[in-house]
Copies of this chain bind each other. A is one copy, B any other.
Amino acid sequence: MSLKYGILGFLSEWPGASGYDLKKEFDTFMNPFWHTHLSQIYPELNHLEEKDLVHSEVIEQTAKPDKKIYTITEKGRDYLRDWLSSSPQSPKIKEAFLMRSFFLDNVTADEAIFQLQLYKKRREDRLKNMKRTLKQRLTEMKNENAALTPRILMITSVYKKGLDEEKGFIRWCEETIKLIQHYKDLWKKEEREEEDILLNHESLKDAPKWFVELIDEINE
Contact = CB atoms under 8 A, between A and B. Distances in A.
Nearest to A195: B147
A55 to B, nearest CB: 18
A65 interface: no
Q: Do most interface residues of chain A lie in helix, strand or loop, or is the interface mixed? A: helix
Nearest to A164: B168
Given A33-B98, A34-B99, A153-B186, A111 B93 contact: no
Q: State the number of copies, please.
A: 2
A5 to B, nearest CB: 7
A187 B94 contact: no
Contact of A89 (B96, B150, B200): B96
A106 B118 contact: no
Given A126-B90, A157-B176, A218 B106 contact: no
Contacts of A106: 9, 12, 77, 80-81, 84
A95 interface: yes
Interface string A197-217: 111100100000011001101
A114 to B, nearest CB: 8
A36 to B, nearest CB: 9
Interface of A: 2, 5-6, 9, 12-13, 30-35, 77, 80-81, 83-85, 87-107, 109, 111-112, 115, 118-119, 122-123, 125-126, 131, 134-135, 138, 141-142, 146-165, 168-169, 172, 175-176, 179-180, 183, 186-187, 192, 196-200, 203, 210-211, 214-215, 217-219
Contacts of A176: 157
21 contacts: A5-B100, A9-B102, A9-B103, A12-B103, A33-B98, A35-B92, A77-B106, A81-B107, A84-B106, A88-B100, A88-B115, A89-B122, A102-B154, A104-B150, A138-B215, A146-B196, A146-B198, A148-B186, A148-B197, A156-B214, A159-B214
